[in-house]
Amino acid sequence: MPPMGMTLTEKILARHVGLDRVVPNQIVDAKVDLVLANELSAAVAIAVMRGIKGATRVFDPNKIALVEDHFVPAKDPQSAKLAKLMKDFAKEQGIVHFFDVGRGGIEHVVLPEAGLVAPGELIVGGDSHTCTYGALGAFATGMGSTDIAAAFVLGEVWLRVPPTIKLVYDGQLGDMVYAKDLMLATVGRLGIDGATYCALEFHGSTVDALSITGRTTMANMAIEAGAKNGIFHADAKAIAYVTERTDRPFIVERADEDANYQRVIAIDVSALEPQIACPHTPDNVHPVSEVTNDVLELDQVFIGSCTNGYIEDLRVVARILDGKQIARSLRVIVNPGSQQVWMQAADEGILKTLAAAGCAVNTPGCGACFGGHMGTLGDGERCLSTTNRNYVGRMGSPKAEVYLASPATCAASALTGRITDPRAVELAGAV
C-alpha cells in the first residue's frame, strides 16, 4: 500500500529538510528562511550566541529580523539597555532588517508588511505568536531564545514534525462577527491544550472569504490552543499581498488530497455570535449574549496588538465611535500595530475620530498587551481587550480581570462602559 500524502506543514518541512517525505513526530533538522527576535528574546539569544565556541557571525545578515516592540519607547534604563544591546548587535553583524522605534512597530505586523514573509517559507522567532505568518502560507513557529541563538549561527533548527488538525469552516459570518470571533470560538472548542504541538490547517469557504488581516488574526491565535503553528493555503489573495511587497521567488505548497490528518473538525459559522473569552483563559469562551451584564463595569478597553492592530480593525472601531463619546467610567487605549498602520489611520482621519471620542492613541508597540507599560491594569480593574491572552496577570495586576473580544465588541463596549453586543450599536451613516 503506497504511503499517505502529506499535509501543508509536512510539505514545507520536507523541502526544508531535503527529504521527499516527512511524517508526524519525526525529528528533523530544517533550514530556515528567516529568524526573528525582539529586544527581550534577542537579549538572551545574543548572550547564548556569545557563549558558543567559534560563533562570531550570524549565518546570513539578510535572513535575520530584529524588532524593538515590547518596551518602546523605553520606559526605564533597563529597557533602554535591552534596546541598545539589540541595536548594537544589529550594527555589529550588519543585520539588514532592524526595526527601531518609529520605523517599525509590532514584530508580527511589521514583517509581513515589509515583505519578509512569503508562502512556503520556514520562519522561527523568539516569540510565541510567530505562528502569525501562517496566514501567508508559511510554516512559522515560536521558539526559546537558546534555539534562536543556534538559528542565528547555523541557519537551521531541529523540529519534531507536528501532526495536523484540519479545521473546515463553512457558512457566512453574520453582522458584526469577525475573524477574531471565529478564532475565539475555535479556541473555546479545542481548549488551550487541545492542539498541543499540532499544526492547525485552516480550510473552507468561510476562511477563503477572509481578508489577509482576518487570516492573520486566526493564525496568530493558533498558539492559544497549544498549536505548534497555524497555516492557510496561499491563494491568489495571499500571493498578491506578498508580490506587492517582495520580488524574491517563493514556492507555494498545497496539502495532498490524501493527506493524513490527526483530526478533521467541521465548523458551521452561520449562527455564530460575537464571542467573549472570559477570565482567566482564552478558551473560557461564551457568546456575547451570555456575558452582557450591567454589573460587570469596565475600567479599560484596549484595542491593538499583533492580533488586532491592523488598519481594518481600526476602521471598524472608528465606524462605531464616529461622532460619539466613550463612557466616562473607563479609559480606551489604542495601539496601532505598526508605523505604517498609524500613518494610514492618520491619512484616513481615523486617529482624529478616535481622539475625538476620548481614546488615547499610543505609538505602536506590545506594552499594554503583556502588561509591560502604556496601559497596565491595577488591582481590581476589569479590561476588555482585542489581545490574544487573558491569563492571570497578563496585562498587569494579578488581581485584575481581562476579557477578550473583537475590535467591534470592544468599541461598542467602550460606549456603554460594560460588555456590549456590537450588533446593538447604531452606526454613523447607517441607513
Q: What is the pLDDT of residue 2?
A: 60
The closest of 358, 292, 298 to 330, measured between CA atoms, is: 298
Q: What is the pLDDT of residue 370?
A: 85
276 phi/psi in degrees, rounded to 5: -130, 130
Instruction: Give CA–CA dist 404/194, Å, rounded.
Output: 19
Three-state secondary structure call for residue 413: helix
Share the mean pLDDT of the chain: 94
Report the share of the chain in percent with pLDDT over 90: 90
List of residues 6+ apart from 15 with CB closer than 8 A: 120, 251, 253
The pLDDT tens digits for 235-248 are: 999 999 999 999 99
Q: What is the pLDDT of residue 60?
A: 97
8-266 adopts what CATH topology? Aconitase; domain 3 (3.30.499)
pLDDT at 429 over 70: no
Please tell me if the domain spanning 8-266 has the same topology as the one spanning 275-424: yes
Q: What is the pLDDT of residue 1?
A: 54
Query: Environment class of residue 239 by beta-carbon count within 10 Å: exposed (0-12), middle (13-18) or buried (19+)?
Result: middle
Q: Considering only 103-107, 189-193, 360-364, 372-376, which range has the smallest mean pLDDT?
A: 372-376
Instruction: Give CA–CA dist 333/320, Å, rounded.
Output: 15
Q: What is the pLDDT of residue 367?
A: 84
Q: What is the pLDDT of residue 67?
A: 96
Alpha carbon 80 to its chain's center: 25
The pLDDT tens digits for 108-166 are: 999 999 999 999 999 999 999 999 999 999 999 999 999 999 999 999 999 999 999 99
Q: What's the one-letter identity of residue 348?
A: E
List the grid coordinates of 267: 465548523
pLDDT at 217 over 50: yes
The rounded radius of gyration (Å) of the Cα atoms in the chain is 21
More confident residue, 10 or 366: 10
Q: Averaged over 57-86, what is the pLDDT?
A: 93
List of residues 6+ apart from 80 with CB closer than 8 A: 74
Q: Averaged over 295-319, what is the pLDDT?
A: 94
| Kind of pairing between the strands at 27-31 and 34-38 | unpaired
Q: Where are the domains of the chain?
A: 8-266, 275-424
Q: What is the pLDDT of residue 81?
A: 93
pLDDT at 431 over 70: no
Q: Averaged over 159-179, what is the pLDDT?
A: 96
Q: What's the one-letter identity of residue 287?
A: P
List the grid coordinates of 26: 519525526
Helix (H) or strand (E) holding 383: strand 382-385
pLDDT at 430 over 60: no
The pLDDT tens digits for 343-401 are: 999 999 999 999 999 999 999 998 888 888 888 999 999 999 999 999 998 999 999 99
Query: Environment class of residue 207 by beta-carbon count within 10 Å: exposed (0-12), middle (13-18) or buried (19+)?
Result: buried
The CATH classification number of 275-424 equals 3.30.499.10
Cell 547555523 belongs to which residue? 154
pLDDT at 15 over 80: yes
Report the share of the chain in percent with pLDDT over 70: 98
With 0.95 as the threshold, say if the pTM is over it.
Answer: no
